[in-house]
Structure formats: structure tokens, C-alpha cells
Structure 1
Amino acid sequence: MELFYVLMFGALTVVVAALELSKTGKDRMNTSSAFNAFKNNYILVYSLMMAGDWLQGPYVYYLYSQYGFGKGDIGQLFIAGFGSSMLFGTIVGSLADKQGRKRACVTYCIAYILSCITKHSPEYKVLMLGRILGGIATSLLFSAFESWLVAEHNKRGFEQQWLSITFSKAIFLGNGLVAIVSGLFGNLLVDTLGFGPVSPFDAAACFLAIGMAIIMSSWSENYGDPSENKDLLAQFKAAAVAIASDEKIALLGAIQSLFEGSMYTFVFLWTPALSPNEEEIPHGFIFATFMLASMLGSSIASRLLARSSPKVESYMQIVFVISSASLLLPILTNFLIAPSKVKGGSISFSGCILVVGFCAFEACVGIFWPSMMKMRSQYIPEEARSTIMNFFRIPLNIFVCVVLYNVDAFPMTVMFGMCSIFLFVAAVLQRRLMMIAESQKPKPQDWTALERTTEAEPLHI
């Protein structure tokens, strides 16, 4: 393996370790033992859920290709997953507010376990069913767990500021350390032990089953609005009114869709960007390096969220500008550095620059997740949290489906340029959100009045 990759991985490891070990009292909050037990229980479950997700990611495309499917068929399977998340996942996720968030989390485990089981079949229809189940599970993963956490945190009377501790630790472990370990463990199962490309999915099902057992035995149920027996259509209408009536909620949804849409596009593009001439690159090691960069970002976020200044609405503007600039690098290197015409070989000089830039982007991703969770906990009404969060994912999934369908239709530089523009727009919207937040004093959301509103009127929170 080239020295460059080892140096990047080593440098990030040292920086992350130094940041964690150098935390002072200003970077930490004094909490209670009851909260620590609650936090540790949630982080354990969240880490198991993310292990079940990360184990599958690197081997989905590879497994389908091993079954003999071409790029077109595999593309349709991926589109089915995102389309399912947009259609069925939105409905199932929204039911969490009415039927219970704990039940929704258990449903996530069951749906994803069944999706893993379908991977044993080479039949296209069975694999398509698995992708649909996986899409539903993804919507639940990114809405039900956070909704349960926020509601349970508030129900137990913990300090609101303590939420940021759970958010940052969950991302640091679940989207960082667990991702790295899962990648290495999957590589061990498939390559070292020779159990085949289905083995990571079996391991994922085991971790999901363990997490489901912990949820069922230690979590209590909470709901969005149990006072009224609203049907699903009424929930959707109330959520739509909430988004249309409160500019802060609408801005959060737009920012989330723009950033996550760019992030998922980056997932498809980084491999061809680093190997335009079929250079030999260690995909697994680069992925682990990206996850280390994400851990660096979440470590920075934990420090920022622990302090009263700067506010999350303020520093996220800088994060979006940096992420926009980092995805401009493929365009700049394409124009400023003469492309190599030699096929194969080691990574080029421009590729090394891109790795550094992509690590900067992944660090921004690490800051984004806990910071966005914090803003959602402040601005989204509790009564329909899961419903509104799944509304946010509708434009995201449409965007990803369009990108997947046209991934070969546009040059890579155009795709990166589009993502960079989206991220800059997110920075502009973030500034607007900060200005509104500073001009308004927070007060309880009048949800009853909101539901009865037929024509959207501005609500001042």
C-alpha cells in the first residue's frame, strides 16, 4: 500500500485522538448518572443499528454483480431502494408518531433483517423485494430513532442542552468507529475467511437482532400526539401545514435535502474521481480514512455544541461553505493539472489532492449530523416529528433517484459542480435561518391551532 494512504490515515488518527484527549471542562457538560445510563443505552443500540447498515453497504453492488446482473439491472435495484424510501418509507415512518416510536424502531430491525435474508436468493424479484424493505428501513433509521430519543429525553426531564452530548457521541461512534470496524469485519468475512459476499448481510442481521432485543427489553414507548385519533392523511396535512407555516422548519428541510443529496451523490462519484485511468486504489482503506475524517468532524461538533458560543446556526454556515469548496476540487484539478493518460498504476498527484479535499468534506459530514439533529430538536414540533422528518426525505430521494438514473449522462465535473452549488445554497439558507432564529424568541408551538389552520399563516416561535 502506498505511503500516502498510510500517512493520511495516521495523521487523521493522531488528530482525532489528540482532540478527544485534550478536552477540558469547557468542552464537557456536567450530567447526572441517570442521564449517562440513558445515553449509553441509546448509543449502544444506535451503534448496533449502524453496524447492521455499514456491514451491508460495501457489498451490495458486489453481491448483485456476483449473481450475474449488469449495471442496468443493478441501477434499477438501487433506484427501487431510494424510491421505496420515498414512497413506502414516508408512510411507515410517519406512523411512528401515532403507533409509537419504539414500535417503529423494532419495525426497522425486522424490515432490515428480512432484507438481509433476501440476499441469499439470486432471483431478481426476491432481490427487488429486499431493496424495497431496505428502503423502508432506511427511512425509519433516520427518523424513528431520533424521534424516540428526543421525546424520551424530554419525558425524563433531562436538560435540553444534554441532547447534544448524545447526538455527537452517537455520530462519533455509529458513523465513525463502527463504520471503520464494520468495514474491516466485512473484509475479514469475505476475503480472509472466504465466507462469500452474503456473509456480511448475515452478520448485519445478527447485530440487528441483538439491538432489537435491547430495544424491546429496555425502551419505553412514546408517541407524537396521542390526545387525538388522527388518521394518516390528517398527520400528513398537519405536517405540511407546519412546514408551510414556519419558515424555520421549511429552511431546515431544504438544507437537509441539499446537503444529503450532495453527500449521496459524492458516495457514487468518489471512486471514479480517484481512479479516472483505472488506477489501483485501496477502496476499503480509503473508506476507513473517510470515516476517520467524519469522526474528526463529530469530535469538533461535540466541542462546539458544548459551548454557548458560537451558536449552531452560525458555525454551520462555515461548514457548508467549506464542504462546497471541497467538492469544487475535482473541477479545479481537471483544469489546472494535466491529466495522466497512463492506464492503471498508482494514484496520481491530482488524486492525492482530491483525497485531502474529500477528507475535508467527510469532516463536514461529521459536523453536519449532530448539528442538524440539534437544530431539528429545537425547531420541529414534537407532535409530528417523525412525519415531518420523513417529509424532508422526499426531495432527497427524488434527487438521488434522478442522479442514479442519469449518472452516465453527465461528465463527472458537472456532477461535482452541481453538488458544490447545492452546498453553497445550503450555506445561504443557513444564514437566513440564523437571522430568523435571532429575531424571534422561542416559545411553545401551538400545535392544536396549527392543525386547524387551513391557510398557512406565519407562526412566530
Structure 2
Amino acid sequence: MEVFYYLVFGALAVVVAVLELSKTSKDRVATSSAFNSFKNNYLVVFSLMMAGDWLQGPYVYFLYSQYGFDKGDIGRLFIAGFGSSMLFGTIVGSLADKQGRKRACVTYCITYILSCITKHSPEYKVLMVGRILGGIATSLLFSAFESWLVAEHNKRGFDPQWLSLIFSKAIFLGNGLIAIVSGLFANMLADNLGFGPVAPFDAAACFLAIGMAIILSSWTENYGDPSDSKDLMGQFKVAATAIASDEKIALLGAIQSLFEGSMYTFVFLWTPALSPNDEEIPHGFIFATFMMSSMLGSSIASRLLARVTLKVESYMQIVFVVSAFTLLLPVIINFLVAPSTGKDSSLPFGGCILLFGFCIFESCVGIFWPSMMKMRSQYIPEEARSTIMNFFRIPLNLFVCVVLYNVNAFPITVMFGMCSIFLFMASILQRRLMVIADRPKSKPQDWTALREMDGEEEPLNV
């Protein structure tokens, strides 16, 4: 059966290589040397940040179990992480607009390094503090870096279309190649070299420290709204008003929450879906296959985003429909294919279909990230970018906490069916967003009204 996994992984690798090597002039955008230097600097930092994140993933649950904690204790630790991201992470992430995005990125490094250090302690309270710190860091990772990039890109006067190049490359590397290499490196440290399950966390701290040094030495600071009169509640007020008054921003937030909520639920469910009877499956190799699929998706996204005439709002409808169908496969197979009863290392026929479907879903994930980044750069106002992006993560983290708490309360087919419905809803909302985006652009006074509501006279600059 190992041959089957190698064939799937090898086929995906060949397709990704062919797509990357066969790019024509239509798939490439002419840029300047100054932009290339800026892009490469950001990609190096972002890759180090993602390496620090991915190195921890494969051994978090295992480390907790080695310390003697049961499934319930571990579940509460995970819930604490997502809850922290929802509560404290939103506040800390929003401070980036006021105090500076570079400072927020450095805070991410420090917070995550401290979280890694706590993994050396078997004390439950210390590990809980580590999960809370990790939740804060996660919010910063998915808001501060993107906010700094967009602001710095615009400040330097680069072509807005060039942002798509950085987005697609960042996902190709950070959510693809770096994830695969990090998983293999973590396995080598913990198992092959015998350093134990804490070693990947120490390696992650080292990568984060290197990235922080590059940020401190080469990045300049930028802000959202530097006004002295804007406190934290003022930032929240502007962000909430922007979401409530601009349907495009509200739709974008709903779409992101629906897709990412389904994606994180998939992360918890793919293992029992592929091994319902606790069959022995190569988790690490399947994970690497999923990451290769994500690389395929980001490679496709780079081609789509390079087409100036092709609107991201248009093709993302198809992406959401396809992803909804792939997560509906477990429900369909449950009715059409007889369940396996044996417990061995082979993947049954239904499992093979699921694996292909899940690979397609991961390809959709690879398309989603750079495309969503592109839409956020277009629709979210600069003054409250980090704040609004963290507002988007509140329903997402709340949803994941509910799923984690009730993961054993419903059959797996019900959970997948729910995710499929959410993704179909995302496609409908994406259609609505495309219709609104095709309308003539609203006048600046709409944003002036927002500023006047907050007691200021200057219009927001979008």
C-alpha cells in the first residue's frame, strides 16, 4: 500500500513542477529590481515564521500525551489556544494598527518563543500558559505580517498588481514547501536523532529568533491610524463601523470565517475519516501529500492572479463549490460504499476516493489563501487593517472551539456535511461579493462619514 501513497505524492510533485516550469510570459509579471529585493526579504522572513509554526504541529498532541495527560485534558489545552486567539489575540493584533505592524511582528516572535519554552515543563498550568501565548501568536501571524506587507508595498509605490506575486509565493513556500520540510525535519529531530518530542519546539524557537533578527535589522515601521486620539476602543469602533457600513468587508469576513472554519474542522477529522477502524496509515506522509496539494493550488493561484482580466471574485465561486463537494464525499461514500471491517495497513476503496478528494480540497486551500489576501488588500481600509482582520477571526475561533468541544457528540459524516453546507454558503456570498464589486466604486465621503462618527475630520485613505 505504500506504493499507492508514493504514486499520489509523486504525481502531485510532477504536476507542481510542470506548472512552475511551464509558465509563459502571460503567467509572469514584469517587476523592478527594488521590488524583487523587497519581495525576497519578506518571503525569507515569512518562511522562517511559518517554519516556526509548522515545526510544532506534528508533536503538540504527542508531547502532551507523553506528559501523561488524557484526551480531555489535551482537548482543553487546544480550546484554550483558540479561545486565547479569539479574545487576547484580537486585542493584541488590533494594537498593531496603533503601535506599529513591525512591533507586532516582533511581538509574534517573542510570544511564540516563550510558548515553545513552556513545552519543557510537564506542569499543566505552565502548558496552559503556553497555549494562551500560542493563541495570541497565531492571531499576529495571520494579521500583522500581511498588514505590514500591504502598507509597506503601497508606501514604496509598487504596482498593486505585484502584491499577488508575493501572496502566491508566500503560500507556495509557507503553506507548502516549508510545511513539508518542517514535518520531515521535526521527525528527524524527535525520532531519527532521538532528541525527543521537545526538540522540534526548540528548533522552532531558533527559526523564530533568526526571523526576528532580520525584521529588526531590515524592516521599517508602518502604522494604520497613528492618531493620538485613537485608543484601543476607538480602533474597535472604527473597525466595527467599517464592517457594518461596507457590505464588501462584511461579506469578506463571512466568507473567510466559513471557509477557514471548515478547513480547521477538516484538520481534526481527516484522520478518523481515512482510518475509521484505527487502521495504520502513514500520517506524516499523508500530511506531506496534503501540503504538496496545497502547493499545487498556490501554483494555480499564481497563474490566475497574473491574469489582469480575470477577477478573483469570479473564480473563487468555483473554488468554493469544488471544495464543498470534496467535503461532501465522506457523506456520499458512507451511503454508497460498504464500510471496511478489518484493521490493517491498507486503505480501502472508499478511503482511496476520500484521499483523492481531500487532496483536491487542499488544492482549493492553496488557491484560497493568496486569493483571499488579494481581496483583503483591495477592500479592507489601511487605517484599521489588522483590527478588522482580527475581527474576522472571532467567529472563526468561536466556531473551532465549539467543534472541538463537541467533536465526539456527532457522527463524522454530520460534521463533514455541515462543513460542506458552510462552503456552499461561502460560494453564494462570493457571488454576492462579485456583484457588488462590479458596481461603480463608492465615493470617498462614505469613509469620511465613518471618521466623522469617531470625532475626526480627515477622511480615511483607502
Same fold (TM over 0.5): yes
**Superposed CA offset, 1:398-450 (max 9, x none):** 00000000000000000000000000000000000000000132665754431
1:125 corresponds to:
125
> In the aligned structure 1, how far is the partner of 2:14 from the partner of 2:2?
19
Mark the CA change 1:445 to 1:57 in structure 2 (over 3 Å): closer, same or farther. farther
Aligned equivalents of 1:392, 1:88: Cα separation in 2: 14
CA change 1:25–1:414 in 2 (3 A) is same
Secondary structure of the corresponding residue to residue 90 of structure 1: helix
Q: Structure 2: how far apart are the matches of 1:375 and 1:228?
A: 29
Unaligned runs of 5+ in 1: none
Q: 1:373: which partner in 2?
A: 373
The residue number in structure 1 matching 2:85 is: 85
Q: Deviations for 1:318-377, whole angstroms, at most 9, x for unmatched residues?
A: 000000000011111111001111123311111111000000000000000000000000
Instruction: Please give the secondary structure, in 2, of the residue aligned with 1:15.
Output: helix
Question: CA 1:443–1:172 in structure 2 vs 1: closer, same or farther (change >3 Å)?
Answer: farther
Q: Name the residue aligned to 1:382.
A: 382
SS in 1 for 2:280: coil
Counterpart residue number, 1:43:
43
Distance 1:140 1:440 in 2: 34
**Does the CA contact (< 8 Å) of 1:241 and 1:451 recur in 2?**
no
Paired position in structure 2 for 1:294? 294
**Match in the other structure for 1:143:** 143
Query: Structure 1 residue 191: deviation in Å?
Result: 1.1
State the alpha-carbon separation in 2 of the partners of residues 441 and 26 from structure 1: 28
2:414 matches 1:414: yes
- Residue type at the aligned position of 1:421: I
Query: Comparing 394-403 with 333-342, which one deviates more in the overlay?
Result: 333-342
**Pairing of 1:159-170 with structure 2 (within 5 A):** 159-170=159-170
State the distance in 2 between where 1:228 and 1:300 align: 44
Query: Paired residue for 2:111?
Result: 111
Moved more, 280-289 or 226-235: 226-235
The residue aligned with 1:343 is 343
User: Which structure 2 residues correspond to residues 201-216 of structure 1 after superposition, within 5 A?
Assistant: 201-216=201-216
1:57-68 aligned within 5 A = 57-68=57-68
Equivalent residue, structure 1, for 2:238: 238
Q: Whole-Å Cα distance in 1 between the matches of residues 151 and 336 of structure 2? A: 51
The SS at the match of 1:220 is coil
Question: TM-score scaled by structure 2?
Answer: 0.97
Where does residue 332 of structure 1 map in the other structure? 332
Match of residue 306 from structure 1: 306
CA offsets 1:257-299 (integer angstroms, 9 cap, x no match): 0000000000000000000011110000000000000000000
Structure 1, 344-353 or 235-244: larger mean CA deviation? 344-353
Equivalent residue number for residue 226 of structure 2: 226
Deviation at 1:2, TM superposition (A): 1.6
**Equivalent residues of 2:281, 2:345 under 8 A apart:** no
- Go from structure 1 to structure 2 and tell me whether the alpha carbon gap of 1:110 and 1:73 turns closer, same or farther (over 3 Å shift): same
Question: CA–CA distance in 1 between the matches of 2:300 and 2:408?
Answer: 36
The answer for the alignment partner of 2:192 in structure 1 is 192
Q: Secondary structure at the match of 2:453?
A: coil
Q: In 1, distance between residues paired with 2:167 and 2:276?
A: 37
Give matches, 1:249-264, under 5 Å. Answer: 249-264=249-264
From the superposition, tell whether residues 187 and 445 of structure 1 become closer, same or farther in structure 2 (CA, over 3 Å): farther
Residue deviations 1:168-205, cap 9 Å, x none?
A: 00000011000000000001001100100000000000
C-alpha contact (below 8 Å) 1:297/1:365 kept by paired residues: yes
Change (3 A) 1:444 1:155: farther
| SS of structure 2 residue aligned to 1:327 | helix
Distance 2:442 2:60 in 1: 45
CA 1:442–1:55 in structure 2 vs 1: closer, same or farther (change >3 Å)?
farther
Distance 1:233 1:195 in 2: 46
